[in-house]
Chain A
Amino acid sequence: MLKRILFSAGLIVGLLALNWLISTQIEGYVATIILHAGIFVILAVSLNLVNGFTGQFSLGQAGFYGIGAYAAASLTTYGQIFLFRHWFHDDGSISWWMGSLLLILAMLVGGIAAAIAGIIVGLPSLKLRGDYLAIVTLGLNQIIVVVLNNMDKVGGPRGFGAIYPKNLNPISIPQLSSFFWVYFVVAIVIIVSINIRYSVHGLAFIAIREDEVAAEAMGIPTTKYKITAFVLSAFFAGVAGALFAHTDGFIAPNEFDFIISINIVVMVVLGGMGSVSGTAIGALLLAVLPEVLRGSFEEYRLVVYAALLIILMLVRPKGIFGQEELSRAWFKAQLLGLKTLPSRIKEWADGLGQKRSTMTGRSK
């Protein structure tokens, strides 16, 4: 118990210190990239609950992300008209405490809105399996984008940055988010994921992933567990949306397109499906990589990004971490693995010219 309290206290103090460092010492552009990377870590780790743990293939995470962002941004703009106008000073600024309280409210509202959407989507569609579930969640993602595009109250295709109520000054989305809050949620989603993974529920998730029929036969209520994972994942995506809206102060429907969902899935698979630390590192890597490539070879950066993605998948088909967590044993195994790398590249090159494949790995 004492260990946990010390860990939590250390985490919060560390985050606050880093928060101070980043807000004062690092230029705004880099700081924004760090915040966006954190938001993608939340999205990827939460998607890992569904895709990595229960083995369901959801391709609609950006839809829930969008619902969370719009719900939270609506709260902090429209809510200002009648709910908490007096929380703000006359010049539109807000104190750190009240701002944080409002951000927590916004995150809860965003998360709950996305979770409700998750229940509505999950109940019927989780009956579908494999690729059918993928395409249905993807379709729902696109429906959400089209609906957002047609909602004039939140800007429609022009995007949502401010509202213009009659008789009042325009109210813009307050930029309440900060390094502390983004990475606090990152810590929460990682801790929740790891705790679930090693609990009884986590074992049920894994059983469903390994063999749904066998899990059902063992008396695991598969539908209940699949929906639990799906709704929890949607909730965190909604929280990420709330953070995103209050980081940028501007959101637009195309920022929640299915392309973003695909990006999130790529992060999960690249990091290692089912590995929490792997997913987090995959997300950080893929969120930061395009920005690092910016500048040096601007025109080719997305070409390089795509080529790296293909090469990584060819070299490490199970993702960077596989299903393992980041640990000392993992590093030892990698050092051993590094020695076999040249032979594996040779194997791939040989495979290109090979006439007949060895017919292993037959699909079930």
Chain B
Amino acid sequence: MPESHHILSTFVQQVVNGLTLGSIYALIALGYTMVYGVLRLINFAHGDVFMVGCYIAFYVASAMFRAHMDNWFAGAAAFAAATLGCGLLGVVIERLAYKPVRNAPKLTPLITAIGVSLLIENVAVLKWAFGPDPQFCPQVLPSDGKILHFHGVDEPVDSVLLIAFTIVLLAFLWHVVRNTRLGKAMRAVSQDKDAASLMGINVNNIISFTFFLGSALAGSAGFLFAALTHVQINAYLGIPLGLKAFTAAVLGGIGNIPGAALGGLIMGLAEAMVEGYGSLVHIPPSYSDAVSFVVLIVILLVRPSGLLGKGGVEKV
């Protein structure tokens, strides 16, 4: 039995790895998809907002660590700081850079977003900002290094915590979008801005709120990534993760909130599976970066508006 047991154990490990990565993708993808829903804008700076979230979590956690506070409270403080800080950053970016070009030709806001993304990265890498050296977030949470034993399958508590926390955040977002007045207004704006405005909805405030919500989720993802995955963070982290997350949003059907979460999980799982088992079918693990794009292209060719996206009928 030990042989088959080993196979099961590694399989579960790969699934958990995939879900961990997928959770991060999903949380970032939600910001892309919500902003796209209300503005039809690919917010290129969103990955960099996530990067800023990682650094806020890192700084707060380091300060707590130096004060010998490694407990749940320290974690909660880092989480709150990253979430609120990123939410505000998102609102500021929208007001200063995107709002003036909202009615300009379609690609102008996109190039502005690329400019904002470059600006955040290149300011972040300056010595007085986050600096050019990669950093490791200190392990402030008490779960660090602990292993969960479950029917002979070992999993680090950190990964399980990350996945559980993502589920809580997704449920919270679903509640906000479905059951609150703000969420209802958000859905109305994404359906038809003019009609929403005629119904007495303050469209500008709702767009700002959307940016706040999306960026706050990216901040939460930044906290989870920095504190729970043991990966080093740097100022250019937002580019690859943002790209994958955006791909996940398109995969699920851009503008569709459950689609973004689903797309993120699928991408994370696909990457983990190729890394774990790709060599069995002669795909070296170094191809895992390409897998998500292959999955995307195949799905878009079959369903051109993504997994859960509604196929738009073009009106003349």
A binds B: yes
Report if B28 contacts A (CB, 8 A).
no
B296's partner among A139, A146, A357, A363 (CB-CB below 8 A) is A139
State whether B95 touches A313 (Cβ < 8 A): no
With a 10 A CB-CB cut-off, give which of A129, A146, A310, A356 has the most chain B CB atoms.
A310
How many interface residues does A have (CB within 8 Å)?
A: 57
CA distance A265 to B270 in the complex (A): 30
State whether B107 touches A306 (Cβ < 8 A): no
Report if A295 contacts B (CB, 8 A).
no
State whether A310 touches B304 (Cβ < 8 A): no
Report if B12 contacts A (CB, 8 A).
no
Which B residue's beta carbon lies closest to that of A213? B316
A359's partner among B99, B101, B114, B193 (CB-CB below 8 A) is B193
B54 proximity list for chain A (CB < 8 A): none
CA distance A305 to B122 in the complex (A): 10
State whether B114 touches A262 (Cβ < 8 A): yes
A364 proximity list for chain B (CB < 8 A): 315
State whether A303 touches B123 (Cβ < 8 A): yes
CA distance A303 to B126 in the complex (A): 9
CA distance A178 to B118 in the complex (A): 32
State whether A269 touches B246 (Cβ < 8 A): no
Interface string of B196-228 (1 = CB under 8 A from A): 010000111000000000000000000000000
State whether B287 touches A140 (Cβ < 8 A): no
Report if B280 contacts A (CB, 8 A).
no
B102's partner among A214, A273, A357 (CB-CB below 8 A) is A357
CA distance A132 to B301 in the complex (A): 10
Report if B108 contacts A (CB, 8 A).
yes
Report if B262 contacts A (CB, 8 A).
no
B105 proximity list for chain A (CB < 8 A): 273, 317-318
Report if A100 contacts B (CB, 8 A).
no
- What's the count of A-B pairs with C-beta under 8 Å? 145
Interface string of B282-316 (1 = CB under 8 A from A): 00101101101110110011001110000000111
State whether B287 touches A127 (Cβ < 8 A): no
Report if B34 contacts A (CB, 8 A).
no
State whether B111 touches A135 (Cβ < 8 A): no
State whether A313 touches B112 (Cβ < 8 A): yes
CA distance A326 to B25 in the complex (A): 45
Report if B141 contacts A (CB, 8 A).
no
CA distance A147 to B122 in the complex (A): 29
Interface SS of A by simple majority: helix
Which A residue's beta carbon lies closest to that of B36? A131
Which A residue's beta carbon lies closest to that of B122? A302
State whether A150 touches B286 (Cβ < 8 A): yes
Which residues of chain B (92-133) have a CB below 8 Å from chain A?
95-97, 99-105, 107-108, 110-112, 114-116, 118-119, 122-123, 126-127
State whether B103 touches A313 (Cβ < 8 A): no
Report if A346 contacts B (CB, 8 A).
no
State whether B126 touches A307 (Cβ < 8 A): no
Which B residue's beta carbon lies closest to that of A362? B194
Report if A352 contacts B (CB, 8 A).
yes
B250 proximity list for chain A (CB < 8 A): 131-132, 135
B304's partner among A128, A213, A300, A356 (CB-CB below 8 A) is A128
With a 10 A CB-CB cut-off, give which of A124, A214, A302, A360 has the most chain B CB atoms.
A302
State whether B97 touches A310 (Cβ < 8 A): yes
Report if B266 contacts A (CB, 8 A).
no
CA distance A65 to B119 in the complex (A): 26
Report if A314 contacts B (CB, 8 A).
yes
CA distance A300 to B243 in the complex (A): 25
CA distance A51 to B202 in the complex (A): 34
B10 → chain A, closest Cβ, in Å? Answer: 24
A310's partner among B103, B112, B290, B306 (CB-CB below 8 A) is B112
B97 proximity list for chain A (CB < 8 A): 310, 314
Report if B23 contacts A (CB, 8 A).
no
Report if A332 contacts B (CB, 8 A).
no
Which residues of chain B (53-110) have a CB below 8 Å from chain A?
95-97, 99-105, 107-108, 110
B100's partner among A129, A150, A213, A314 (CB-CB below 8 A) is A314
Which residues of chain B (30-70) have a CB below 8 Å from chain A?
36, 40, 42, 44
With a 10 A CB-CB cut-off, give which of A214, A259, A313 has the most chain B CB atoms.
A313
B293 proximity list for chain A (CB < 8 A): 139-140, 142-143
Known: A132-B305, A214-B316, A309-B118. A351 touches B100 (CB 8 A): yes
A-B contacts, 16 of them at CB < 8 A, read A142-B289, A146-B289, A150-B286, A213-B316, A217-B316, A269-B107, A306-B118, A313-B104, A313-B111, A317-B104, A318-B104, A351-B99, A357-B103, A359-B203, A360-B103, A362-B194
* 4 residue pairs, one from A and one from B, having the closest CB atoms: A361-B103, A139-B293, A317-B104, A306-B118
